[in-house]
């Protein structure tokens, strides 16, 4: 199974509409477009795309131009356990891309990397790509890539 964690791109500060209504900045739209351009040719096969209901995540995933599901399991108030359960990690029958938020994405990444609690910093607009494989009867997690928008050429 492949699991991609994609943090939403740079967003405006919270205004009168509240946190979920925040939109991407001009820079954020460029970040989302760059990451989508990097991701799209690499998403071979069947992918399930889960997106937080927050406006900034919906705007981030728009750049990918793929069908997606809005899921509270990827929202701002979710837990790493709820998100991983929704993805079916590590043995879902299909690959999953999640567009979500810090600190949850960093907590999921830490759990996959270290098998425990804690967190890592996932930069705005960045992608963390994990994969599983079976070796000697055990499921192993591999970190395939970490890509930030500033690493992708226009």
The CATH number assigned to the domain holding 9 equals 3.40.50.1240
Give every CB contact of residue 112 below 8 A, 6+ residues apart in sequence: 3, 89, 130, 141, 143
The pLDDT of 125-137, averaged and rounded, is: 90
Q: Count other Cβ atoms within 10 Å, centred on residue 62.
A: 17
| Residue reference for tokens 């899921």 | 71
Residue 52 in this model has a pLDDT that exceeds 90? yes
Give every CB contact of residue 116 below 8 A, 6+ residues apart in sequence: 110
Q: Which residues of 10-37 are buried (b: 16+ CB within 10 A; e: fewer)?
A: bbeeeeeeeebebebbeebbbbbbbbbe
Residue 76 in this model has a pLDDT that exceeds 70? yes
User: Could you tell me the residue range of the domain that residue 83 belongs to?
Assistant: 2-151
The predicted pLDDT at position 60 comes to: 97
Residue 154 in this model has a pLDDT that exceeds 70? no
Count: domains in the chain: 1
**pTM of the predicted model, to two decimals?**
0.92
Residue 47 in this model has a pLDDT that exceeds 90? yes
Average predicted confidence (pLDDT) for the chain: 93
């Amino acid at each position: 199974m492949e699991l991609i964690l994609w943090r939403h791109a740079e967003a405006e500060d919270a205004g009168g509409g509240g946190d979920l209504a925040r939109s991407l900045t001009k820079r954020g739209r460029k970040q989302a477009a760059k990451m989508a351009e990097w991701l799209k040719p690499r998403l071979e096969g069947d992918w399930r795309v889960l997106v937080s209901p927050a406006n900034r995540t919906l705007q981030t995933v728009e750049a990918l131009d793929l069908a997606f599901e809005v899921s509270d399991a990827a929202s701002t108030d979710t837990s790493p356990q709820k998100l991983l359960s929704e993805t079916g990690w590590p043995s879902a029958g299909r690959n999953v891309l999640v567009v979500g938020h810090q600190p949850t994405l960093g907590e999921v990444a830490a759990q996959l990397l270290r098998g425990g609690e804690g967190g890592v910093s996932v930069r705005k607009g960045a992608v963390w790509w994990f994969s599983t494989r079976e070796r000697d009867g055990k499921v192993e997690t591999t970190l395939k890539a970490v890509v930030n928008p500033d690493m992708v050429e226009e």
